[in-house]
């Protein structure tokens, strides 16, 4: 037994004294820039343990023990493009540790370098800029090069590369801001770009030379112009040959070569061209000749035709090659002439006729043209009178007349429909000399085009286009479009016609929607001196941008139900529905206008919500009592131009003018009064001649005040205004209060009605939308009727005031719904998108959520249900309302059912007792200004 132990111990000592074998087949390789892999075959002889070490000089080694049976390992967190020495060691531990090593060296892969450091740019000369930087902290590869990109805006100017980061960029444009982008490339990967901005200066020497040259050229040009004016007068007085050249220059060479604008970059291109006060647009516009000299105008200049042109002292307007020729009458010279020209549409020759507004002497010729050209749509983009000046003859019969004869043409009027922006008249046109039956002709008079200028909202142009397209068809003759003279400042004919050229086809993201060159070729067909106004040129582009961004969002009531059903479907379910996508396209208009007045320190306490501050351009300005008392005792619907000067001197109240459906009339959206602003609230009601107040909130929301109670029993005085609550009637849905307002310096009292809608939590949607619609339809009976032929540009009367807690949350829904119901009743169409878009422009926080947006669609759909494909208009529920008279509860008939006119009759009785005459309802205005009624709102957007 002892000998066996001795043998075993001797064997053990022999093993400990023997060196282990080195690991076999040891190799390492890089997997990528930060990872490697090593493999080996463990020694066949005995060893205690095995460990692996790797390091980068001068860093210390990173050693990890390995399992004896392990034959490989992955290395992590390595540095890119770095040499690693890996040692695999097998050990035997006894009195003396013995080991054998296997060594392998490998390099990790390249990776992206880090950004350059210390990038700077400095101007060396007027148009030379030096750009320098320091090397990146991590090259992650071999020595490479530095790359420089020079850009201005979105345009790449030049690129350079150098082994060191020292660039000298010369020959740049003067007075231009450049963006310099520098990156490092390690032969395989490019690092992130760092950018720095620098601007070039002006060319001092060239400027001096240019000024001297400009003085010389201006002097010469002035002499030439004076000579040309003299020569032109001389030629006119001498009645020279009609074939003489009008403009001695090459029109095609003068025109700028502008590339078509694709739909996907239309907005960016528009913004770029509008920069610097529209400098690029102006250059394009100015390149269009006022007269295309290659087209003759002999017929228009003949003496027997000149009295048919509205302005005989201005160049005649119809080119010979495309003028509309009438049939000859008994060989009468000039009987075939009318001041009108054919205009091509988009892939449709002679789609339009651009005509001068008829004069009294040319009305017969105008109707002869309508009959001979088989026109079925007339678009009138002017008024018969502007500022007591005759702009166009009234060339159609009135509804009282019924019909009128113009030469051989008989015109009968069948229908006259007035809408906010236009008037539609249905006519029947016949000819006494022909047996053919009469033709239906639609006359559309666009009333929102100002006499001097353009509509503020390009959407109006698209709206007019939709109305015109709705009445025209494939078999119709040309669409006749006229303003007053086709060629002078208003320019409404020429601005309306090019826009449909580019909108006729279906929109495509890859198609060019605004080809300047193609529109220019169409404009060659226009009458002479057409497209004079730069504003009209901009308007065409704005209409294209509006159409391209938002598309068609108007829908007729007859199509609303299937349309809304499809808009709510999600296909696929993970994507937003078309209705959600439409809401997401709505502009937010955050901080698009200044809010200085409401944010002044002395006014901050007058705001319930610091995020809902009225914009300065359309806030309701309150006159001081002294100014109010100086006004005439007789109320006038016209406010002076001084209203626009009240911005700085007036008192502040958190209220905004909001456009109503019946332009230029406006509504007021206001926050619920605070206790300290109740007096200002009633001053606003009096000064703006408010007829109806709509209150959409309770006095408290939970334990917080939502609105101060701004009425009391009996009489209350607020400065010079005395408020007397005359009556209170309450139904299940809303409460109606009647107030009598008197001013200490005025004789006649005013009656103001307050409609308080019950049970609407501001953070939720109304539980009973039908009751809200019921209240709207009833309160409309208290508002002025919209049947006036003429509006007032400075209309101070604001018959409707709406308020909730902050003047936006519930007020926005109400204003949108009010306008949509008016549109549905009047035109049988709605446009929720444009209604909400208009409100967001007017006041922050209007209709902020998709739920509110969808609610508007749903309420209109439920108000106008579809039956057998036809819209069933609900009767206005103004016949009977359950009324609870809170003031006269002691009377035996206080709780009986009474008509909604009860309050009105009561107030009228009070007026008669006091000797006051009720003010007649202001009729709906027809006015050229596309803007709010208040002078404060008519400022340029």
- The winner for highest mean pLDDT among 18-22, 468-472, 617-621 is 617-621
Percentage of the residues of the chain whose pLDDT score is greater than 90: 48
**Largest interatomic CA distance in the chain:** 153
pLDDT tier, 472 (very low <50, low <70, confident <90, very high otherwise): confident
What's the rounded mean pLDDT across residues 751-772?
90
pLDDT tier, 8 (very low <50, low <70, confident <90, very high otherwise): low
Decide if pLDDT at 213 tops 70. yes
H or E segment and range at residue 911: helix 902-914
**How far does Cα 4 stand from its chain's mean position?**
102
Decide if pLDDT at 15 tops 60. no
Domain 17-107 has CATH 2.60.40.10: yes
Q: Which of 392, 483, 525, 707 is catalytic?
A: 483
What residues contact residue 641 under an 8 Å CB cut-off, 6+ apart?
A: 794, 935
Decide if pLDDT at 629 tops 60. no
- Out of 128-142, 476-490, 873-887, 916-930, pick the least confident: 916-930
pTM value is 0.64
pLDDT value, residue 493: 52
pLDDT value, residue 593: 92
Decide if pLDDT at 644 tops 90. no
Where in the chain are all domains bearing CATH 2.60.40.10? 17-107, 117-199
pLDDT tier, 11 (very low <50, low <70, confident <90, very high otherwise): low
Cis amide prior to 553 (ω within 30 degrees): no
What's the rounded mean pLDDT across residues 891-913?
38
Decide if pLDDT at 237 tops 70. no
pLDDT tier, 405 (very low <50, low <70, confident <90, very high otherwise): very high
pLDDT value, residue 526: 47
Instruction: Round to whole Å and give the CA distance between 244 and 293.
Output: 10
- The winner for highest mean pLDDT among 200-214, 546-560, 900-914 is 546-560
Name the packing angle between helices 850-863 and 557-567 (round to 10°): 140
pLDDT tier, 289 (very low <50, low <70, confident <90, very high otherwise): confident
pLDDT value, residue 904: 42
pLDDT value, residue 396: 95
What letter would DSSP give residue 508?
-
Instruction: Round to whole Å and give the CA distance between 123 and 278.
Output: 28
What's the rounded mean pLDDT across residues 564-578?
92
Could you read off the pLDDT of 153-167 as tens digits, one per residue? 889 999 999 999 999
pLDDT value, residue 751: 95
Could you read off the pLDDT of 70-115 as tens digits, one per residue? 889 998 889 999 998 999 888 887 777 788 888 999 999 999 999 9
What sign has the CA pseudo-torsion 211, 212, 213, 215? positive
Decide if pLDDT at 249 tops 80. no
**How far does Cα 863 stand from its chain's mean position?**
29
List the one residue out of 607, 720, 614 whose CA is nearest residue 657: 614
Q: What is the CATH number of domain 117-199?
A: 2.60.40.10
List the one residue out of 667, 748, 756, 743 whose CA is nearest residue 710: 756
Cβ count within 10 A of residue 655: 28
SS3 category, 418? strand
- Out of 41-50, 439-448, 527-536, 733-742, pick the least confident: 527-536
What does 270-282 look like in DSSP terms, one character per residue? Answer: HHHHHHHHHHHHH
63 is catalytic: no
Tokens of 357: 């507004």
Q: Which of 28, 133, 528, 804 is catalytic?
A: 804
pLDDT tier, 276 (very low <50, low <70, confident <90, very high otherwise): confident
CATH says 614-914 is which class? Answer: alpha beta
pLDDT tier, 761 (very low <50, low <70, confident <90, very high otherwise): confident
CA angle 163, 134, 57 (to 5 degrees): 85
Domain 253-550 has CATH 3.90.190.10: yes
Q: How many residues does the chain have?
A: 941
* Burial (Cβ within 10 Å: 0-12, 13-18, ≥19) of residue 794: middle
CB 685 within 8 A of CB 752: yes
- The winner for highest mean pLDDT among 626-635, 698-707, 870-879 is 698-707
Instruction: Round to whole Å and give the CA distance between 289 and 316.
Output: 16
What residues contact residue 233 under an 8 Å CB cut-off, 6+ apart?
A: none
- Out of 226-240, 259-273, 721-735, pick the least confident: 226-240
What's the rounded mean pLDDT across residues 778-793?
66
Decide if pLDDT at 822 tops 60. yes
Where in the chain are all domains bearing CATH 3.90.190.10? 253-550, 614-914
Give buried/exposed letters for 210-221 (b at 16+ CB in 10 A, else e). Answer: eeeeeeeeeeee
Contacts 24+ apart (CB under 8 A), 122-125: 122/198, 123/198, 123/199, 123/200, 123/201, 124/168, 125/170
Decide if pLDDT at 171 tops 50. yes
Decide if pLDDT at 225 tops 60. yes
Instruction: Round to whole Å and give the CA distance between 860 and 824.
Output: 8
Round the average pLDDT of the chain to a whole number and report it.
81
Categorise residue 388: left if φ over 0, alpha if ψ from -120 to 50, beta otherwise.
left
| 128 or 382: which leads in pLDDT | 128
What's the rounded mean pLDDT across residues 348-370?
92
CB 535 within 8 A of CB 492: no
CA angle 59, 62, 66 (to 5 degrees): 165
List the one residue out of 150, 158, 161 whose CA is nearest residue 197: 150
Could you read off the pLDDT of 645-654 as tens digits, one per residue? 444 568 999 9
pLDDT tier, 916 (very low <50, low <70, confident <90, very high otherwise): very low
pLDDT value, residue 347: 85
Instruction: Round to whole Å and give the CA distance between 509 and 622.
Output: 49
Could you read off the pLDDT of 841-900 as tens digits, one per residue? 999 999 999 999 999 999 999 999 887 667 776 655 443 444 344 444 433 333 333 333
Decide if pLDDT at 3 tops 80. no
pLDDT tier, 230 (very low <50, low <70, confident <90, very high otherwise): confident
What's the rounded mean pLDDT across residues 394-423?
94
Instruction: Round to whole Å and give the CA distance between 551 and 544.
Output: 10
Name the packing angle between helices 850-863 and 809-827 (round to 10°): 30
């Amino acid at each position: 037994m002892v000998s066996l132990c001795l043998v075993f111990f001797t064997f053990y000592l022999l093993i400990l004294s023997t060196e282990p074998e080195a690991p076999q087949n040891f190799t390492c390789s890089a997997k990528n820039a930060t990872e490697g892999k090593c493999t080996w075959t463990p020694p066949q002889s005995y060893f205690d343990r095995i460990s692996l070490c790797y390091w980068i000089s001068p860093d210390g080694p990173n050693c990890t023990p390995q399992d004896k049976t392990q034959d490989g390992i992955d290395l992590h967190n390595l540095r890119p493009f770095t040499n690693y020495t890996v040692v695999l060691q097998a050990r035997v531990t006894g009195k003396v540790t013995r080991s054998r090593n296997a060594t392998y060296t490998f390099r990790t892969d390249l990776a992206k370098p880090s950004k350059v450091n210390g990038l700077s740019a400095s101007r060396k000369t007027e148009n030379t800029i030096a750009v320098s930087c320091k090397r990146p902290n991590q090259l992650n590869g071999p020595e490479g090069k530095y790359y420089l990109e020079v850009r201005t805006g979105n345009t790449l100017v030049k690129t350079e590369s150098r082994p060191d980061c020292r660039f000298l960029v010369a020959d740049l444009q003067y007075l231009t801001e450049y963006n310099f982008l520098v990156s490092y490339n390690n032969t395989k990967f490019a690092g992130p770009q760092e950018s720095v901005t620098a601007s070039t200066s002006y060319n001092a020497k060239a400027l001096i030379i240019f000024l001297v040259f400009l003085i010389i050229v201006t002097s010469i040009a002035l002499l030439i112009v004076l000579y040309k004016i003299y020569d032109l007068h001389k030629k006119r007085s001498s009645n020279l040959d009609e074939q003489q050249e009008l403009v001695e220059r090459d029109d095609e060479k003068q025109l700028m070569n502008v590339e078509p604008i694709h739909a996907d970059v239309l907005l960016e291109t528009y913004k770029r061209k509008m920069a610097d006060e529209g400098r690029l647009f102006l250059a394009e516009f100015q390149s269009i000749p006022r007269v295309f000299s290659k087209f003759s105008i002999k017929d228009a200049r003949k003496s027997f035709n000149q009295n048919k042109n509205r302005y005989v002292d201005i160049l005649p307007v119809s080119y010979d090659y495309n003028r509309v020729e009438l049939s000859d009458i008994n060989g009468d010279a000039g009987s075939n002439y009318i001041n009108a020209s054919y205009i091509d549409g988009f892939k449709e020759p002679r789609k339009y006729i651009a005509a001068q507004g008829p004069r009294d002497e040319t009305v017969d010729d105008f109707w002869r043209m309508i009959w001979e050209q088989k026109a079925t749509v007339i678009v009138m983009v002017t008024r018969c009178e502007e500022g007591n000046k005759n702009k166009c003859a009234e060339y159609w019969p009135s509804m009282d007349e019924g019909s009128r004869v113009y030469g051989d043409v008989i015109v009968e009027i069948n229908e006259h429909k007035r809408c906010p922006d236009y008037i539609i008249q249905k006519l029947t046109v016949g000819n006494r000399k022909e047996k053919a039956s009469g033709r239906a002709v639609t006359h559309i008079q666009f009333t929102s085009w100002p006499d001097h200028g353009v509509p503020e909202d390009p959407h109006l142009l698209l709206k007019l286009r939709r109305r015109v397209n709705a009445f025209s068809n494939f078999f119709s003759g040309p669409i006749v479009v006229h303003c007053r003279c086709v060629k002078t400042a208003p320019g409404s004919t020429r601005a309306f016609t090019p826009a449909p050229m580019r909108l006729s086809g279906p929109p495509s993201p890859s198609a060019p929607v605004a080809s300047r060159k193609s529109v220019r070729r169409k404009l060659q067909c226009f009458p002479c001196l057409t497209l004079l106004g730069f504003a009209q040129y901009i308007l065409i582009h704005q209409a294209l941008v509006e159409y391209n961004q938002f598309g068609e969002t108007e829908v007729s009531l007859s199509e609303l139900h299937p349309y809304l059903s499809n808009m709510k479907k999600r296909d696929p379910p993970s994507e937003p529905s078309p209705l959600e996508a439409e809401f997401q396209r709505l502009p937010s208009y955050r901080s698009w206008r200044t809010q200085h007045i409401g944010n002044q320190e002395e006014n901050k306490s007058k705001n319930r919500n610091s995020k809902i501050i009225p914009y300065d351009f359309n806030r309701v300005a309150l006159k001081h009592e002294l100014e109010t008392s100086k006004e005439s005792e007789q109320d006038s619907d016209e406010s002076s131009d001084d209203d626009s000067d009240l911005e700085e001197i007036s008192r502040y109240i958190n209220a905004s003018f909001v456009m109503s459906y019946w332009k230029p009339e406006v509504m007021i959206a206001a926050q619920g009064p605070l206790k300290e602003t109740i007096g200002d609230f009633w001053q606003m009601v009096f000064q703006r001649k408010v007829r109806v107040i709509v209150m959409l909130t309770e006095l408290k929301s939970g334990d917080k005040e939502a609105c101060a109670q701004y009425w009391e029993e009996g009489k209350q005085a607020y400065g010079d205004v005395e408020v007397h609550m005359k009556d209170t009637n309450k139904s299940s849905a809303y409460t109606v209060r009647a107030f009598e307002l008197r001013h200490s310096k005025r004789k006649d009292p005013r009656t103001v009605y307050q409609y308080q809608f019950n049970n609407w939590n501001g953070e939720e949607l109304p539980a009973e939308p039908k009751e809200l619609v019921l209240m709207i339809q009833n309160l409309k009976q208290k508002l002025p009727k919209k049947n006036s032929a003429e509006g007032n540009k400075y209309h101070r009367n604001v018959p409707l005031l709406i308020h909730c807690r902050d003047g936006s949350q519930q007020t926005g829904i109400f204003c949108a719904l009010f306008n949509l119901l008016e549109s549905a009743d009047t035109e049988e169409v709605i446009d929720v998108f444009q209604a909400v878009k208009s409100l967001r422009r007017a006041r922050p926080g209007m209709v902020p959520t998709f739920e509110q947006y969808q609610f508007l669609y749903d309420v209109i759909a439920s108000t106008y249900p579809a039956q057998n494909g036809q819209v069933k208009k609900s009767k206005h529920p103004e016949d009977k309302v359950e009324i609870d008279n809170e003031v006269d509860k002691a009377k035996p008939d206080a709780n009986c059912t009474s008509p909604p006119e009860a309050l009105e009759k009561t107030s009228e009785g009070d007026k008669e007792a006091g000797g006051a005459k009720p003010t007649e309802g202001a009729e709906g205005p027809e006015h050229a200004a596309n803007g709010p009624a208040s002078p404060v709102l008519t400022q340029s957007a």
